[in-house]
Each structure stands twice: as C-alpha cells, then as structure tokens.
Amino acid sequence: MTYAKSYIAELSRVKSLDLLNAHLAATVILQDRMQQSPRHVRGVNFIEFYDLCDRIAQLMETCAGEIARRVADLGGVPQWPMPMVQCGPIQVSDLSDVTVNDTRPIADSGPLEDFAQSLLDAATVAEAYGDATTAEVLAQVWRDVDRHLWLTFKMTNRPALAH
C-alpha cells in the first residue's frame, strides 16, 4: 500500500482496501466462472444460455474495473484472485455451482444474488466507518448487478427479490 493523500482516516482506508480487494477477487472469479460455464452445456437453448453468461461476464469485468479504480484512488494495489476469499455472505468456492437444466436454461443466479447482497452489505459497512466514496462505488456496482438480476428474473419469469 502506498501513501495517499486522503480525507479519510488511515484505519478506515485500510478497512476499505481490504473490503474492496475481497470484492474485487469475487468479481474476477465470478467473471471467470461465467466465461467457462457455457462450455459444458448442450441443448436447444444453448445460445440463450451462452448470451446470458457472456452478459454477466461483461458486467463483472466492468464492476472489477470500477472497484480496481477505487482501490488505486485509495493508494492500494488491486489484488486478485485471492484463494477462497470470504467477503460477506458469498464464498468464492460457491461460484463453481453454475448449472443449467432442461426446463429453465438460465444460469443459476444464486452466486450473483449472493454477490449483490454482499455488495449491499459492504456499502453499508464502508459508510459506517466513514468512507462514503467507497460506499458509493460499491452501491453503484450493486445497482448494476441488481439491474442485471432483474433482467435475468424477467427472462426466466421468476419473481424478483425484494431488497
């Protein structure tokens, strides 16, 4: 970590860097899983599934960029992927369970839902220890993920989650 002229206390900056790097690792790993998941899928709805996974992977790439920029703004070094990172309610080991079934050929959105909830919780935590900018970055990433979850639920005719 390098010295950065910052308006927040050093302890809050260190906490923010840890929080951001944990979510950065989860973002990169989720992106990788989404890029790999269509490789083992066969069936009539393969194209729909492939397109959905591709959109999620692109979203994760954008989110990783936003989080990495905030890490750099705080004077930290983006670190990913950290093996078996625990960041809030999402465990990176859970992200390997992306599946498709015959009746609903859409990726299981569980890991994405967990990631969205983890982002929301992290934004609240960052706000609590005085880093409003990090909280806003995490909240913006959450809004992007939540919008994509809504579209996924709409495609699959599943009810959206109440936040």
The full set of domains in the chain, from first to last, is 10-156 (1.20.1260.10)
How much of the chain is helix, strand and coil, in % rounded to 5?
65, 0, 30
pTM above 0.95, yes or no: no
pLDDT surpassing 60 at residue 67: yes
Who contacts 161 (Cβ-Cβ below 8 Å, separation ≥6)?
A: 113, 149, 153
Looking at residues 151-157, what average pLDDT do you find?
67
Share of the chain above pLDDT 70, in %: 68
pLDDT at 158: 53
Q: How confident is the model at residue 4 (pLDDT cuts 50, 70, 90)?
A: low
